[in-house]
Structure 1
Amino acid sequence: MLLGHGRLPRVLAGGALVVFAALWLTPFVWALATSFQQEQDVASPGLNPIKGALTLESYRTILDRGNIPVWAFNSVLIATLVTVLTVAVSTLAAYGLSRGTFRGRRLLLAVTVSSIMVPPQLLIVPLFQQMLALDLVDTYWAVILPQVVAPMMVFILKRFFDAIPRELEEAARIDGASELRVFWSIVLPLSRPIVAAVSVFVFIGAWNNFLWPFIVTNDPDLMTLPVGLATVKDAYGVVYAQNMAGALLAAAPLILVFLFFQRRIVKSVATTGLGGT
């Protein structure tokens, strides 16, 4: 749009996109190359990302020292449950804030928006005390429940629900539909793009969450993949090839999720104004 129309502007725009894509992929390619090398080759000086023979030694070390299948299962289970519960709670809360007429709605909305600015680290101590009081420490629910409350997702969904024409809901109510029926049959089908985008964002956040699962779990069989990989240490200090291999193992599922849902994410951002919220 800035360069105008024609062949030359398209070529310039395409070239700029290629340059930005190359800059974005450079760290990933470097990490991938590092993970397939021996440690002595990685530590040798030089800017060449591949300095020696390629090997799977780093991956074999991580798989031998760590319980990758159990940690991966825990991550999938926790991220899936967090996503399902967060979307369920956030959609209902957002619909109530968007369509509700109860007393204190504005105050509740203000509290929801202001809670977005609260750093999660400030809540670690009270949340841990609460998990202790409920005897949930070292359980799946201790990792899952604190992540279900997502004010940002409530606000995003509320903004989308505000844009849905109320005439559609009024027509359904005239036909005898209850409030829950209107929400389930009218609002949610119209909100599939934003719900899909929120689900992907919540899943990625739950999968990458390291601090809270690290604090609230001590049992190795309950660790998530990021926490479990952090426990696989070497006695000789920092091992770059092994660290890169662990990071790529943890990121691989997220890359697959993004590839499968890329069009849905882009469509939701383009059609719902998510990028401006």
Structure 2
Amino acid sequence: MSTRSPTLNTRVSRLSATPRRRRPKFRPSSAVAVLILIVLAVAWLVPVLWALATSLKSETDAGAPGGWIGAGGITFDAYAKVLSSGQIPTWAFNSLLTSVLITVLTVVISALAGYAFSRLDFSGRKWLLAVIIGSIVIPPQVLIVPLFYEMLSLNMIDTYWGIILPQLIAPAMVFILKKFFDQIPNELEDAARVDGAGRMRIFLQVVVPLSRPILAAVSIFVFIGAWNNFLWPFIVINDSSLMTLPVGLQTIKSAFGVQYAQNMASALLAALPLILVFLFFQRQIIKGISSTGFGNS
């Protein structure tokens, strides 16, 4: 007669029935892929490190040939001059305000449009979707002149809305969200419809909670694009107090020629928020991209 308790026997049987994980086999293709990723990472990291090293030099050392560290050692003079020469806090606030508003409004518009293309059957749906997909390949620079005249006619030059409104339409994000919404089972919406839910309630209470990964990824992509946008804010804004950070940093010039250390310090200051966004939200970005289904197509 066994002295083991039934609970212990059950645990033992479960442990014995659990298959052991096998170590992944070495594949040459995996080694090649890892090697390519390492090369690409180094190719991206070296210019960033060079810019950082240059920004920590004096202007004399930055303009002279030499190693990563200047003869005078590490100095933060370039950052001090950049921060004291312009309206950095004002420009950073303008960039943050416009980027957040562009992100929120673009995600709302793109999500509603993507859901309509995914679930609604209306006249001209295929043609309109084809126009949206085709507009993805149109360079934004082509639309600068008509957009400028449109903002001028609306008296939105030198205003926040002059920066924001032309950037709200994102055909690529509409298409990405439409692809994601196609993967949500219709049975979930049918069950909510049986309970008396309307179309908008289904979208807000069923579709949106299931779409959080892709919505987070789209939000990050839109925010990065809005923060980095230089050309349109440069054209539509002349008032220095309304300039965004990328535009404002370009106005900090010196009468003594090119200041390499200050230029690198300005570039790193403008890129720092985006680096932090990526470091904190890289999981959401990867999860959102994998949720679109493009990798399985």
Letter in 2 for 1:246: S
Q: Report the alpha carbon displacement of residue 21 of structure 1 after superposing the two structures with TM.
A: 2.8
- Cα distance in 2 between the residues matched to 1:194 and 1:203: 14
Describe the shift of the 1:166–1:127 C-alpha distance in structure 2 as closer, same or farther (beyond 3 A): same
Q: Amino acid of the residue matched to residue 70 of structure 2?
A: K
Structure 2 residue matching 1:54: 3-state secondary structure: coil
Q: Which residue in the other structure is 1:145 paired with? A: 165
Per the alignment, residue 158 of structure 1 pairs with 178
Shift in Å, 1:42: 1.5
Equivalence for 1:258: 278
Residue 135 of structure 2 corresponds to residue 106 of structure 1: no
Residues 159-190 of structure 1 deviation map (CA, whole Å, 9 limit, x = unaligned): 11111111111111111000000100111111
1:51 aligns with 2:73: no
Change in Cα spacing, 1:80 to 1:45, as seen in structure 2 (3 Å) is same
Q: 1:35 aligns with which of 32, 55, 67?
A: 55
1:87 to 90, 103, 107: 107
Per the normalisation by structure 2, the TM-score is 0.87
* 1:198 and 2:231 are equivalent in the alignment: no
CA RMSD of aligned residues (A): 2.0
Amino acid of the residue matched to residue 111 of structure 2?
A: T
Select the structure of larger CA radius of gyration. Answer: 2
- The verdict on how the C-alpha distance between 1:167 and 1:9 changes in structure 2, with shifts beyond 3 A counting, is closer
Is residue 76 from structure 1 mapped to residue 76 from structure 2 by the alignment? no
Letter in 2 for 1:202: V
Q: State how far apart, in whole Å, the 2-side matches of 1:61 and 1:221 are.
A: 19
The residue number in structure 1 matching 2:81 is: 61
2:110 and 2:169 map into 1 onto residues whose CA distance is: 8
5+ residue gaps, structure 1: none
Aligned partners of 1:156 and 1:274 also within 8 Å? no
Summarize deviations over 1:247-268 as a string: whole Å, max 9, x none. Answer: 0000000011111101111122
| Alpha-carbon distance in 1 for matches of 2:39, 2:137 | 35
Corresponding residue of 2:139:
119
Q: Is the 8 A contact 1:137 1:217 kept in 2?
A: yes
- Shift in Å at residue 7 of structure 1? 10
The question of whether the paired residues in 2 share the 8 Å contact of 1:113 and 1:152 is answered with yes
Q: Kindly state the Cα deviation for residue 272 of structure 1 after the two structures are TM-superposed.
A: 2.6
Q: CA deviation at 1:126?
A: 0.7
1:12 & 1:150 partners in 2: Cα distance?
36
TM-superposed deviation, 1:43: 1.7
Q: Given that residues 268 and 274 in structure 1 are in contact (C-alpha distance below 8 angstroms), is that contact kept between their aligned partners in structure 2? A: no
Q: 1: CA distance between counterparts of 2:50 and 2:87? A: 26
What is the identity, as a one-letter code, of the residue corresponding to 1:83? T
- Residues 1:240 and 2:260 aligned together: yes
Is the 1:87–1:195 contact (alpha carbons within 8 Å) kept by the matching residues of 2? yes
Q: 2:240 aligned with 1:220, yes or no?
A: yes
CA distance in 2, matches of 1:276, 1:213: 38
Which residue does the alignment assign to 1:270?
290
Matched, 1:167 2:191: no
User: What's the offset of the Cα at 1:271?
Assistant: 3.2
Residues in 1 aligned to 2:32 and 2:153: alpha-carbon distance in whole angstroms: 61
